[in-house]
């Protein structure tokens, strides 16, 4: 890899991170916010304007004096296709969102199917590509582990052992980024409400589906060596996995939840745990906290809160990751 080319890409990412709010900036303002030199910003902004990634116009910034060039992102320059699949109360749902590079939702669909397999996902994506020529990346969220682009231990059986990432990259010739759904949700929550120096865990406890957590440690996602980190459904309970999923209901699920949460607190030591999923509600948190305190000293107990709908954080996490990874090989 050419070091100079890599540095230019990283510096452009810095510029984009400043301009993603859609506001107008002079090159001097961008230099101040990024820490880059004015001359470097001038060179890179000229390149980005030539590519139509940014647009500029001359403005008089004060009542008197010369005009200056102000730059803003060209929202129509590129877009990201974000798609995720899930099972909710036994029903398969396929969610598709098209986002601009400023994070604006340009289009969306949320459909329910009897079966969601590779062909169904390809068909859905192709329909969006046919109407939009500026898609430069595909972001995939999956209720499973991701092993080199292959789906493993998935809540949707027809997607088990499918190399979805590789398949979609060959079909659409753009980078495809695929991660566990909890990773995106946790990262989106962190970007929206977390602290840069904080330790945050998002914990999902749905009915009759293996529970999962994801943790952000001072801005970094803890995924583990093979992506298993946080999959508390694999803890050694006193019954097999089939029986575990049978017991994960409103009547019998609390002992499983307690053991999982105590394990997360002991291993990760988060400042906050955000709960979601239909097995928990705001009213159960006090009982859950009291049970956890039987094992965890009070001074190490995290703050606990409940979020009924984490889909906005899911989408935010996908967008933030899309902007970080870029869109071209």
Name the region of 269 (left: φ>0; alpha: ψ -120 to 50; beta: rest).
left
Q: What is the pLDDT of residues 74-99, one digit of tens each?
A: 999 999 999 999 988 789 999 999 99
Q: Are 327 and 80 in contact (CB under 8 A)?
A: yes
The rounded percent of the chain whose pLDDT value lies above 70 is 97
Closest CA to 191 of 202, 205, 180, 179: 202
Place of tokens 């020529």: 133
Q: What is the pLDDT of residues 171-203, one digit of tens each?
A: 999 999 999 999 999 999 999 999 999 999 999
Confidence check: pLDDT of 45 > 60: yes
Confidence check: pLDDT of 3 > 90: no
Band of pLDDT at residue 2, cut at 50, 70 and 90: low
The DSSP secondary structure of 101-169, one letter per residue, reads: TT--EEEEEEEEES---HHHHHHHHHHHHHH-S-EEEEEEEESSEEETTEEES-SSGGGTT--HHHHHH
Q: What is the model's pLDDT at position 328?
A: 57
Q: What is the model's pLDDT at position 325?
A: 83
Q: Are 138 and 177 in contact (CB under 8 A)?
A: yes
Band of pLDDT at residue 329, cut at 50, 70 and 90: very low
Q: What is the pLDDT of residues 137-162, one digit of tens each?
A: 999 999 999 999 999 999 999 999 99
Within its chain, how far is the Cα of 39 from the centroid? 34
Helix (H/G/I), strand (E/B), else coil: 187:
helix
Band of pLDDT at residue 65, cut at 50, 70 and 90: low
Confidence check: pLDDT of 25 > 80: yes
Closest CA to 253 of 262, 245, 261: 245
What is d(CA 255, CA 277) in angstroms, rounded to the nearest whole number?
16
pTM, whole model, 2 decimals? 0.90
Q: What is the model's pLDDT at position 115?
A: 95
Q: How many residues are recorded in the chain?
A: 329
Q: What is the model's pLDDT at position 254?
A: 94
Q: What is the pLDDT of residues 267-290, one digit of tens each?
A: 999 999 999 998 987 788 999 999
The rounded percent of the chain whose pLDDT value lies above 90 is 85
Q: Are 208 and 248 in contact (CB under 8 A)?
A: yes
Confidence check: pLDDT of 4 > 60: yes
User: Rounded mean pLDDT of 21-37?
Assistant: 95
User: Rounded mean pLDDT of 104-116?
Assistant: 95
What is d(CA 24, CA 42) in angstroms, rounded to the nearest whole number?
15
> Both tokens of residue 135?
């898609």
Band of pLDDT at residue 68, cut at 50, 70 and 90: confident
């Amino acid at each position: 890899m050419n070091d100079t080319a890599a540095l230019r890409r990283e510096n452009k990412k810095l510029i984009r991170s400043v301009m993603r709010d859609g506001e107008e900036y002079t090159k001097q303002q961008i230099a101040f916010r990024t820490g880059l030199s004015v001359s470097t910003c001038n060179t890179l902004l000229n390149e980005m304007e030539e590519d139509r990634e940014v647009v500029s116009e001359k403005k008089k910034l004060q009542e008197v004096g010369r005009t200056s060039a102000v730059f803003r992102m060209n929202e129509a320059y590129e877009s990201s296709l974000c798609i995720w699949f899930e099972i909710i109360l036994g029903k398969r749902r396929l969610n598709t969102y098209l986002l601009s590079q400023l994070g604006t939702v340009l289009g969306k669909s949320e459909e329910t199917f009897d079966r969601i397999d590779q062909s169904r996902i390809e068909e859905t994506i192709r329909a969006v590509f046919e109407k939009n020529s500026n898609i430069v990346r595909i972001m995939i969220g999956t209720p499973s582990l991701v092993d080199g682009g292959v789906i493993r231990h998935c809540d949707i059986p027809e997607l088990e052992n499918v190399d979805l990432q590789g398949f979609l990259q060959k079909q659409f010739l753009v980078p495809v980024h695929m991660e566990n759904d909890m990773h995106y949700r946790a990262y989106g929550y962190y970007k929206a409400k977390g602290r840069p120096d904080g330790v945050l865990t998002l914990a999902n406890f749905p009915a009759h589906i293996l529970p999962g957590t994801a943790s952000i440690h001072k801005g970094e996602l803890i995924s583990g060596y093979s992506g298993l980190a946080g999959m508390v459904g694999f803890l050694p309970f006193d019954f097999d996995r089939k029986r575990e999923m049978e017991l994960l209901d409103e009547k019998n699920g609390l002992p499983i939840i307690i053991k999982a949460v105590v394990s997360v607190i002991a291993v990760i030591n988060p400042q906050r745990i955000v709960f979601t999923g239909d097995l928990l509600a705001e009213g159960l948190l006090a009982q859950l906290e009291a049970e956890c305190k039987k094992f965890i000293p009070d001074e190490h107990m995290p703050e606990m809160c409940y979020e009924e709908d984490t889909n906005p954080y899911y989408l935010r996490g996908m967008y933030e990751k899309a902007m970080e990874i870029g869109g071209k090989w």
